[in-house]
Structure 1
């Protein structure tokens, strides 16, 4: 009995410590996620070549992941187990997909306001649910399906509103639609597919998250590098140089973006192995980040949300809240 009590009292501080870390990392992830569109819009000039910013972000991710792996002592162990075939099998395809997705996001950043980008970016939840069902047979509850329909309504509302002349008075509506909304929606589809593939690699291949970050960043950078031989970005790099259009401030959104990917892994890790706990935490982050984006856009740009954003925001917040709160529960027969 005494031994049991001592075990409980010993585990309680460690649990409280883990909870503290979860909320600490969640706070930073909320600020990063909410501020990223605004920071990218202000500090990345339109002249910056998209491929260079994405490749630089991947390099920062590799450095952060290697530092964290060295700190936890897993770097030496992986030297014996790591194989090229295993890396390409687990990380090759999602890396190439994420490389294309990041390029599309960089294009979209420049042609949408921060809040519209953040709200419309949540459509990736729809495609993540779709591809996890196709690849992993991960089912959704009735409430989650309803939440996804709310998200679709918000996406359609924003697409029609912001792509119209009324929704975008300062920019060409065609430019907003074809260089802002369409790239972002395609990026959401790619994000859903890549997320499902990463989950498959994690569950089936038992691939560590930090190792996947390193492998995917390297493979993705190689894919982007190969694409420069026959792309407009490649010609621009040859003509103007790799860092054309860069300023010292450009490093801020690049680093922020890379750190955000690491923070997602830390939040998920410290939230524990319980899927519901990590989902609720990340759901809180997403909803809070939308509000942070709206506040920062109003404070720094003096731009209040458009009517379409005001109508779509509560739909997205409600959708994400329902989706995270009512996960699918496995029935006894299925178990």
Structure 2
């Protein structure tokens, strides 16, 4: 397990990234209409961010050794399903973050805490009609993305903590699979929609250098999340995002002129209370050297074992029985001596 200082640093960085990310996306990415393209660029940036340290690292954690020891079966078992989930989650989040203000988006995103705790427990075994146009707004997108994030994060936590997989390789696998999924999705959608020839020219409309900067910040957050899940846990990651919600509220008030109302204060108070309750009452952790589990192995060996036909004893048990028999014989002979003397007299 990582040191407390490392855990605190990772959680602080994640808190800051989550706090500024909604504002950056609202300022610089809202004009970039193609959601698939935004998600694809983020996945490509995460791939680069994972390959660079892998290439610079030597030894067992290096790129060459990781490729030699890489197993398709392990990758399929640990990253295929989370990659598909993350693609859907990212598409929903990118659509929701430009439709909602930062505070609302982050508040809705925090419903993942309940789902995360439940799914981590299950996976790791730690103990009205509406119009179709309104039925799937940014709120529904953010809520569904929160559930998907909890599910994918729980699966990744199991892969990183139980199976001891390299974090960078998991990021590479997730990014590659995410890009392939987006390409397949784009091909299917374009085939169904039969887009015109001019659509490809408008693909980069609304993009700027700051758009890339906002997406790079999100990619850094995606890599950072992997370290937080591995070294701190998925539930702790969710609480770091809750703290980022407070930073988002302050930035929204200062830069966008959106006041921090009473409802937001109540929500933040509830979040603080729930965080304190979780911190003061952590789940009991099982230890490998649990004395209750070792008691059967520490118990003394059985002296006599009974079979269906006869009684058997071990060699040590037989020696102990012989000693006891001799002692009984000596004790039985001692009281008879006076009687013999009396008879002689």
TM-score (norm 2): 0.71
> Judging changes above 3 Å, is the alpha-carbon distance between structure 1 residues 130 and 31 closer, same or farther for their aligned structure 2 residues?
same
Query: Would you say the 8 A contact 1:30–1:289 is kept in 2?
Result: yes
Deviation of 1:238 after TM superposition, in Å, equals: 7.2
Pairing partner for 1:322 from 269, 277, 300: 277
> Judging changes above 3 Å, is the alpha-carbon distance between structure 1 residues 307 and 283 closer, same or farther for their aligned structure 2 residues?
same
Residue 305 of structure 1 corresponds to: 260
> Judging changes above 3 Å, is the alpha-carbon distance between structure 1 residues 66 and 47 closer, same or farther for their aligned structure 2 residues?
closer
Note if 1:66 corresponds to 2:51.
yes
Higher relative contact order (CA 8 A, sep 6+): 1
> Judging changes above 3 Å, is the alpha-carbon distance between structure 1 residues 198 and 267 closer, same or farther for their aligned structure 2 residues?
closer
Say which SS state the counterpart of residue 175 (structure 2) adopts. Answer: helix
> Judging changes above 3 Å, is the alpha-carbon distance between structure 1 residues 334 and 240 closer, same or farther for their aligned structure 2 residues?
farther
Deviation of 1:283 after TM superposition, in Å, equals: 6.4
Note if 1:260 corresponds to 2:221.
yes
Say which SS state the counterpart of residue 178 (structure 1) adopts. Answer: coil
Give the number of the structure whose residues are more often helix, by fraction. 1
Query: Would you say the 8 A contact 1:104–1:183 is kept in 2?
Result: yes
More displaced stretch, 306-315 vs 185-194? 306-315
Deviation of 1:109 after TM superposition, in Å, equals: 0.4
1:154-233 matched pairs, under 5 angstroms = 178-231=136-189
Query: Would you say the 8 A contact 1:64–1:259 is kept in 2?
Result: yes
CA distance, structure 2, for counterparts of residue 270 and residue 126 of structure 1: 20
Deviation of 1:110 after TM superposition, in Å, equals: 1.4
More displaced stretch, 235-244 vs 55-64? 235-244
| Aligned length, in residue pairs | 278
CA distance, structure 2, for counterparts of residue 319 and residue 250 of structure 1: 35
> Judging changes above 3 Å, is the alpha-carbon distance between structure 1 residues 186 and 235 closer, same or farther for their aligned structure 2 residues?
farther
Where structure 2 has 5 or more consecutive residues not aligned to the other structure, the ranges are 128-132, 295-345
Cα-Cα RMSD: 2.9
CA distance, structure 2, for counterparts of residue 234 and residue 327 of structure 1: 54
Deviation of 1:48 after TM superposition, in Å, equals: 2.1
Residue 107 of structure 1 corresponds to: 95
Query: Would you say the 8 A contact 2:117–2:235 is kept in 1?
Result: no
Question: Deviations for 1:128-185, whole angstroms, at most 9, x for unmatched residues?
Answer: 122222222222xxxxxxxxxxxxxxxxxxxxxxxxxxxxxxxxxx75x732110111
TM-score (norm 1): 0.73
Query: Would you say the 8 A contact 2:113–2:235 is kept in 1?
Result: no
Question: Deviations for 1:76-117, whole angstroms, at most 9, x for unmatched residues?
Answer: 211211133322221111001001000000111012111111
CA distance, structure 1, for counterparts of residue 194 and residue 172 of structure 2: 24
Pairing partner for 1:78 from 66, 79, 83: 66
Question: Deviations for 1:251-301, whole angstroms, at most 9, x for unmatched residues?
Answer: 122101110122234456666xxx6xx966x46633431221111101110
